Amino acid sequence: MFELEGLEVFFYTLPVDMRCSIDGLSIIVSERLSLDPTKGALYVFFNKSQDKLKILYWQRNGFCLWYKRLEKERFKVPLSRGILTLTFQQLRWLLDGLDYTRIQGHKPLSYKEFF
């Protein structure tokens, strides 16, 4: 298995036709966002009704596509238009149905000396 948690997360905040698969989404990443879809990041897309979400990522020698469809609720999608960079924790909150823009976790601490 491979680790996703250390990857950058790019959230495309314009609705996408969910009939798009790997080829269509990778074209959006490369042409509209001017990013390299094979760079080892997660690219998150949602549909107009905000009940479907796809995540495109490159894993060593090929693309992977993850799809989630909500049966009754909607994803809490921000109002901004374009591309946002999320933390992996914010992505997890988004997938859990939380409004990640209103949640703030503890700040990371770093110590150089210990008692």
For the chain, the domains span: 9-95
Q: pLDDT band at 2, cuts 50/70/90?
A: low
Name the residue type at position 86: L
The whole-angstrom separation of Cα 99 and Cα 114 is 37
> Is the pLDDT score of 43 beyond 70?
yes
Positive or negative torsion for Cα 88, 90, 91, 97: positive
pLDDT at residue 15, as a whole number: 93
Name the E strands within the chain: 9-12, 42-46, 52-59, 62-69, 83-86
How does pLDDT run across 62-105, given as a tens digit for each residue? Answer: 999 999 999 998 988 877 778 889 988 889 988 888 877 777 77
The whole-angstrom separation of Cα 94 and Cα 77 is 8
Kindly state the tokens that stand for 16: 């996408």
